[in-house]
A and B are shown apart, each in its own frame.
Chain A
Amino acid sequence: MKRKNFFLFFLFLIGFASSYAILTFDILEDSSPPPVYEVSVITRGRGNDSWESMKHGAEQASEELFVDLSFITLSEDSSVEEQIYLLERESLGGADAIVISAADSRLLTPYVSKVGESIPIVSIDSPTESPSVFSYISADDYEMGMLLGSEINSSGNSHKRTAIIVSGLSCSNVSSRLDGLRDSLGLPDDIALYWYPPETPDEASAYLSSKLEEHAADVLIALDLPALELAGQALIDNNQQSVSLFGFGATGKIASFIESGIIEATIVKNDFAIGYLGISAAASALSERPVSLNTVVEHRLINMENMYDIENQRLLFPSIR
């Protein structure tokens, strides 16, 4: 055999052996475990069933996507100062990404933008105006408002005195609900009643009780979940069961109020999906995978008649386990 051929054979043999070793023993394959990202979720309220459901969604995504989740609720609902503090604390504390539901869409914007310069920020439920947000995941709040207005109209309450309990309006998703509601009801601003309860629950309860004692309205509409719970409780406490209550959100208590006829209808969004998709978006942003700028989750109208429909059960009572 020629020397050159032998050399080629030897070279090929070495190449073959190297390739075999690389493939068989995964020499080049990254055998290290996938990176674990630390993601913090900052809610805009205290713990309730809605946030709990969102937490379950976030936990499911964290389990699947190797995320070390830190789910943080506020000590009081819609506290902007606390959210700003938590935002900065989590950012400085080494969070790889932050998922936030803004307590005040406008006030929180500069802080979100600042933090967003260093780590990915994902908005859920309530947006900010910051352009540095990677993705916003929520239900279509304007459509939710429209749907509830439509239900109020169809239930024969359209010509009754209607009071809207205005709370959480600093969140632009809540203001969108109000817009949808107004458009659906056709309520001129000078006709509709707007009740502005104080921020603390006790004061808000007292405020609502006093209003109800005045028999100022036949139809009450609560724009957010805490207000709906407070209004339902106030109706029971004041024995004002002739007043029709509508609102947004779902908890066990609200389900109980619906079942007992205190609340006529509520619009429920899929909080589990918001939590799941929020973490997914954060993980995608960290892995430099494409992230959808806007994701809309489903919402449903729940009333006494349909609350035990199988699909509605799954939305109204999401904690199946």
Chain B
Amino acid sequence: MIFLGIVFYIRYDASMQSMVRKDNKRVIEQVNMHLDTYLRNMMRISDALYYRVIKNVDLSEESLDGQMSLLYNTFRDQLVSIVVVDENGSLVSSAPLSILKKEAALPEQEWFGEALGRIENFHFSSPHVQNLFEDPNHSYKWVVSMSRAVELTNDGSVGHGVLLVDMNFSGIDQLFKNIDLGSGAYTYLISGDGEIIYHPRQQLLYSNLIQENNREAINYDDGNHTETFQGVERIITVKTVGYTGWKIVSVAPLEGVAKDYYNFRSFIVFILLFTIFLMIFANQFVSSRIADPIKSLEASVKELEMGDLDVEISIGGSYEIQHLGTTIRSMVEQMRRLMDDIVAEHEAKRKSELDALQNQINPHFLYNTLDSIVWMIENERYSGATSMVTALARLFRISLSKGKNIISVKDEVEHAGNYLTIQKIRYKNKFKVIMNIDSQTLMYSTVKLIIQPLLENAIYHGMEAVYNDGEIEVSSFIQDAKLFIRVKDNGIGIPPGTLSKLLSEEPAHPSKGSGVGLLNVHKRIQLSFGADYGLSVESEPDVGTTVTICLPCIPYEEKSVEGGSIA
């Protein structure tokens, strides 16, 4: 677009310059025609005088004065004087009739020498002051002299002489001064040797207040030229005037030419800029219509990649992009549904697994307890049976816990206490229990029924071989921002081979009881709180076993843990 604009501008510039050149040439041709006519008139006067008067007169018999005065008076507006001089430089005749100046040495005049030097031609001088005749008014007129050699007949013999026609300079001035080339352009006239004959600012040139490139212009051929004079680039048009060797020179400063088409130039530049602007705008508009929906869609997909399944997939732009967006949105919807299904399925699986584990506990304990109560009633130990039933009732209340799997440590400890109450009755205080519970731990959450299986293990496996000096210590504490519940017994301990398998697999040969225990508790804790938590077992044969429960410190809030895990 810029290239086109520049080409267009250059073409227009060249066209304008060409037009100016043509215009100048046309004007200069016209001026030349007028000047030519003017000079031809002068030559006709000269011819008329020569061929009709001088040639027909024998100077010894007749004077030229009358005929010359007649001719002079006919053209007096254009003429200053007409003079005929013989070859010796003596005045033959003149019009108007005047007294020749004493100082006027005619043979020394330039026009005299030129006329006799080349007798076949007319000779034109540069403007000069006419200084041949006395003038009572002391008036000196600027003239252009036209001289030619003539044949003078005197007493029958033919000799040479010079006919001088002094043209009034104002005649030439009139031809030039009304030329209007516009915009600082002007025309001047120079002689064959480069002397200024006419210039619109002639006096300024003579006073050296301005300069003209006339000495250079004399070397120009006819036609158009471009020159730089005094830092100004100008179009020069030259035309040589016939007969005289004079040259008409027109000068048009390019600055002036440029000024004429300034408006058009600004118009071109503005149209160019406007078109470029419109193209940029249209390009941006179209590209934004295409690219923006794609960018939005890409941003949505990136968010999706980051895992945000709730992202709103952008749909916009052309039909194809809308279709793509709709497809991706539909895909995300489907993915979201699938994910929800998987999560729900996973949760259900986890819950059923947890419930299964939980359910393993209850029948096991209930069987044993009821067995003990039966035993006590059979042995008529009714008060013990009553206490046992009461403890059992409280135990079940906590076990039920409104169906919750997560309860407070306080309830869990109470539950353990009830259990121990039952077991102590059953085992006739064969062991003693030390409860070392940090009150700060009571407020935290725990999976329900995790202490009771440990106590059960301690009683069944630890206390069986111990007589009256069995000791079970239940303690809770907080360490490193974790909650620990520890059950320690001084029973027979666990053989190392068994200890290493306790938490890794189901016991190969379940011992007395339900066959479930530590692993059950361990799995339930990990299902609820993650793999970082669970049980750790330390045991030394014949010294005792310490089982430690590790739980996160999660404050217990009844509402938040309703019915399930809080992990």
Residues of A within 8 A of B (CB): 1-2, 5, 9, 12, 16, 19-20, 23-24, 26, 56-57, 60, 251-253, 255-256, 259-260, 270, 272-273, 276-277, 297-298, 304, 308, 310, 313-321
Q: Are A16 and B274 in contact (CB under 8 A)?
A: yes
Contact of B207 among A2, A273, A317 (CB under 8 A): A273
Contact of A60 among B128, B137, B195, B201 (CB under 8 A): B201
Interface with A: B7-15, B263-271, B387-395, which one? B263-271
Q: Are A276 and B207 in contact (CB under 8 A)?
A: yes
Residues of B within 8 A of A315 (CB): 206
Listed residue (B129, B142, B169) with the most chain A CB atoms within 10 angstroms of its CB: B129
Say yes or no for B428: interface residue by CB 8 A criterion. no
Residues of B within 8 A of A (CB): 101-103, 126-129, 131, 135, 137-140, 142, 169-170, 173, 195, 201-204, 206-209, 263, 266-267, 270, 273-274, 277, 281, 284-285, 288-289
Q: Are B209 and A273 in contact (CB under 8 A)?
A: yes
Q: Are A314 and B140 in contact (CB under 8 A)?
A: no
Residues of A within 8 A of B281 (CB): 9
Instruction: Given A1-B288, A60-B203, A270-B207, check contact A320 B270 (CB 8 Å).
Output: no
Q: Are A57 and B142 in contact (CB under 8 A)?
A: no
Instruction: Given A252-B139, A314-B206, check contact A20 B270 (CB 8 Å).
Output: yes
A252 to B142, CA, bound (A): 13
Contact of B203 among A20, A57, A255, A313 (CB under 8 A): A57
**Closest Cβ of chain B: how far from A264's Cβ, in Å?**
14
Q: Are B270 and A16 in contact (CB under 8 A)?
A: yes
Residues of A within 8 A of B126 (CB): 310
Q: Are A317 and B204 in contact (CB under 8 A)?
A: no
- Extra contacts, 14 of them, besides A1-B289, A320-B203 (Cβ < 8 A), are A12-B277, A16-B273, A16-B274, A56-B203, A60-B203, A60-B204, A253-B138, A259-B131, A270-B207, A276-B204, A308-B129, A317-B142, A320-B142, A321-B169
A-B contact count (CB 8 A): 88
24 pairs across A/B with beta carbons < 8 Å? A1-B284, A1-B289, A16-B270, A16-B273, A16-B274, A19-B270, A20-B267, A20-B274, A23-B263, A56-B203, A60-B204, A255-B140, A256-B135, A259-B131, A276-B204, A297-B207, A308-B128, A310-B128, A310-B195, A315-B206, A316-B129, A317-B140, A317-B142, A320-B169
**Closest Cβ of chain B: how far from A132's Cβ, in Å?**
26
Instruction: Given A320-B127, A321-B170, check contact A1 B103 (CB 8 Å).
Output: no
**Closest Cβ of chain A: how far from B76's Cβ, in Å?**
17
Residues of B within 8 A of A56 (CB): 203
Listed residue (A252, A298, A320) with the most chain B CB atoms within 10 angstroms of its CB: A320
Residues of B within 8 A of A318 (CB): 203, 206
**Closest Cβ of chain B: how far from A29's Cβ, in Å?**
10
**Closest Cβ of chain B: how far from A88's Cβ, in Å?**
32
Residues of B within 8 A of A26 (CB): 263
Nearest-neighbor residue (CB-CB) of B288 within chain A: A1
Nearest-neighbor residue (CB-CB) of A8 within chain B: B281
Q: Are B266 and A23 in contact (CB under 8 A)?
A: yes
Residues of A within 8 A of B207 (CB): 57, 270, 272-273, 276, 297-298
Q: Are A259 and B263 in contact (CB under 8 A)?
A: no
Q: Are B128 and A321 in contact (CB under 8 A)?
A: no
Residues of A within 8 A of B202 (CB): 320
Residues of B within 8 A of A276 (CB): 203-204, 207, 209
Residues of A within 8 A of B128 (CB): 308, 310, 313
A273 to B210, CA, bound (A): 11
Q: Are B277 and A16 in contact (CB under 8 A)?
A: yes
Residues of A within 8 A of B138 (CB): 251-253, 255-256
**Closest Cβ of chain A: how far from B278's Cβ, in Å?**
9
Residues of A within 8 A of B288 (CB): 1-2
A272 to B170, CA, bound (A): 19
Residues of B within 8 A of A20 (CB): 266-267, 270, 274
A194 to B157, CA, bound (A): 62
7 closest cross-chain pairs (CB), A and B: A252-B138, A314-B206, A273-B207, A256-B138, A253-B138, A23-B266, A317-B140
A316 to B129, CA, bound (A): 10
**Closest Cβ of chain B: how far from A255's Cβ, in Å?**
6
Q: Are B101 and A259 in contact (CB under 8 A)?
A: yes
Instruction: Given A252-B140, A253-B138, check contact A24 B267 (CB 8 Å).
Output: yes
Contact of A24 among B131, B266, B285 (CB under 8 A): B266
Q: Are A1 and B285 in contact (CB under 8 A)?
A: yes
Residues of B within 8 A of A60 (CB): 201, 203-204
Q: Are A252 and B137 in contact (CB under 8 A)?
A: yes
**Closest Cβ of chain A: how far from B469's Cβ, in Å?**
87
**Closest Cβ of chain A: how far from B154's Cβ, in Å?**
31
Residues of B within 8 A of A277 (CB): 209
Residues of A within 8 A of B277 (CB): 12, 16
Nearest-neighbor residue (CB-CB) of B262 within chain A: A23
**Closest Cβ of chain B: how far from A8's Cβ, in Å?**
10
Residues of A within 8 A of B139 (CB): 252
A205 to B288, CA, bound (A): 101
Residues of A within 8 A of B140 (CB): 252, 255, 317
A5 to B280, CA, bound (A): 12
Q: Are B103 and A260 in contact (CB under 8 A)?
A: yes
A19 to B267, CA, bound (A): 11
A259 to B131, CA, bound (A): 9
Residues of A within 8 A of B201 (CB): 60
Q: Are B131 and A308 in contact (CB under 8 A)?
A: yes
A56 to B131, CA, bound (A): 23
Residues of B within 8 A of A251 (CB): 138
Residues of A within 8 A of B204 (CB): 60, 276
A277 to B266, CA, bound (A): 38
A272 to B206, CA, bound (A): 10
Nearest-neighbor residue (CB-CB) of A57 within chain B: B203
Nearest-neighbor residue (CB-CB) of A12 within chain B: B277
Residues of B within 8 A of A298 (CB): 207-208
**Closest Cβ of chain B: how far from A239's Cβ, in Å?**
17
A297 to B209, CA, bound (A): 9
A12 to B284, CA, bound (A): 15
A320 to B273, CA, bound (A): 55
**Closest Cβ of chain A: how far from B294's Cβ, in Å?**
16
**Closest Cβ of chain A: how far from B476's Cβ, in Å?**
64
**Closest Cβ of chain A: how far from B38's Cβ, in Å?**
16
A277 to B289, CA, bound (A): 70
Nearest-neighbor residue (CB-CB) of B267 within chain A: A24
Nearest-neighbor residue (CB-CB) of A261 within chain B: B103
A250 to B566, CA, bound (A): 127
A316 to B140, CA, bound (A): 10
**Closest Cβ of chain A: how far from B84's Cβ, in Å?**
22
Nearest-neighbor residue (CB-CB) of A314 within chain B: B206
**Closest Cβ of chain B: how far from A246's Cβ, in Å?**
19
Q: Are B263 and A321 in contact (CB under 8 A)?
A: no
